[in-house]
Structure formats: structure tokens, C-alpha cells
Amino acid sequence: MSKSKIVAMVALIAFAMGIFLVDDALAGERHKTRSVTHNVKWNPINVPDEQGHVIASLENKGIVTNLEGKAFCDGWLVEFQALWESNPKMDIGAGYGYWGGTDRDGDKVYARWEAKKVKGDPHSRGTLTIIKGTGKWEGIQGRHTFVGTVVAPGEQYADQDWDIELPRR
């Protein structure tokens, strides 16, 4: 076999491998979503320093809508567990916890979040970082920033700006 045929064959194999590897690469996407949740558990412990100061464990459940009409997170059931410290009289709060989203097929995405509520701002603001996914979401990476709004005791919504990396299959 001539050198030119060997070089051409090696180039063809390298090209095919490159296509295969690029096809399985991660694709960056941005999404805007809104979650609406309600408290299913709220277990406050009073801190004796100031009236209204509490540390609480909580669990919320709700649903997410993709505001751009995309499939990611649209109609997903969500739940999160958290530890939250707040003093409504001082207009402050801070916390962290874990988030789980379940799509219509039962596949899941898990994440960790943290947030703060500062004096004078009616919203809590924070970030969420994806830990892992199952099923079609296995290998997902990413994070989002969010702005949370309490609309009534135990009822809230949060607007999220996602930046995710979806594994191509």
C-alpha cells in the first residue's frame, strides 16, 4: 500500500473519531425558568438574641415552567430542603440547601443552592449548582442564579437564569 493511501486512511479514521468525540461533547445552553413552590414543612427554632430571629429547617415542593417554551425544566416537579436563618423584623435572611427536579419521564437533576436576603431588598438572591443527573440528564453540568419572591406566608416563586451543559447522546 502506498504512503499516500496510508496517510489518507489515517486521516479518514482521525476525522471519523473527531466527529464521534464532538458528537458526545457538551452543548452549552441558556434557559429562563420560574418555579412556584409552597412550604410543606417549616420547623423554626427561636434564637434568644432578638425577637423574630429563627433558624429553621424547611421543605418546599412545587413546579417549574420554562419561560421560553423549551423542554428543559418545563413542567418539572421540584422539591428542596434547606436550613434558613432569618429575622423578618430586621429584614434579613440567609440559607442553603438541596434541590431536586423530576422531569415527566421520571429522570432527575440534583443541585445545591445558597441564598441571601439583605435589608431593603424585597427578594432573596442566590445561586444553584448542579451536582448530578439521572437517566437522560446523566452528565449534566451547570448552574443558575435566581431571585426569590415571597407572595404569601409559605408561598413563593423564583425566577432562574440557567447556564447548563447538556451531554449529547
The answer to whether position 113 is within a domain reads yes
- Looking at residue 27, what is its pLDDT? 56
The answer to whether position 109 is within a domain reads yes
Residue 61's beta-bridge partner residues?
38, 79
The answer to whether position 17 is within a domain reads no
The answer to whether position 92 is within a domain reads yes
Helix (H) / strand (E) element for 156: namely strand 155-167
Convert 100-114 to b/e letters by CB count within 10 Å (16 or more is b): bbebeeebbbebebe
Here the CATH number for the domain that contains residue 95 is 2.40.350.10
The answer to whether position 103 is within a domain reads yes
CA distances (Å), 169 to each of 27, 70, 93, 108, 164, in order? 11, 18, 41, 17, 16
Task: Report the distance separating Cα 101 and Cα 130, nearest Å.
Answer: 11
- Looking at residue 13, what is its pLDDT? 43
pLDDT tens string, the chain, 169 residues long: the values are 555 444 344 443 444 443 333 333 445 899 999 999 999 999 999 999 988 999 999 999 999 999 999 989 999 999 999 999 999 888 899 999 999 999 999 999 999 999 999 999 999 999 999 999 999 999 999 999 999 999 999 999 999 999 999 877 6
Residue 44's beta-bridge partner residues?
56
Query: How many structural domains compose the chain?
Result: 1
Q: Where are the beta strands (DSSP E) in 26-118?
A: 26-46, 54-66, 77-87, 92-102, 108-117
Helix (H, G, I), strand (E, B), or coil: what is residue 52?
coil
The answer to whether position 88 is within a domain reads yes
- Looking at residue 142, what is its pLDDT? 97
The answer to whether position 2 is within a domain reads no
The answer to whether position 1 is within a domain reads no
User: What residues make up the domain containing 36?
Assistant: 28-167
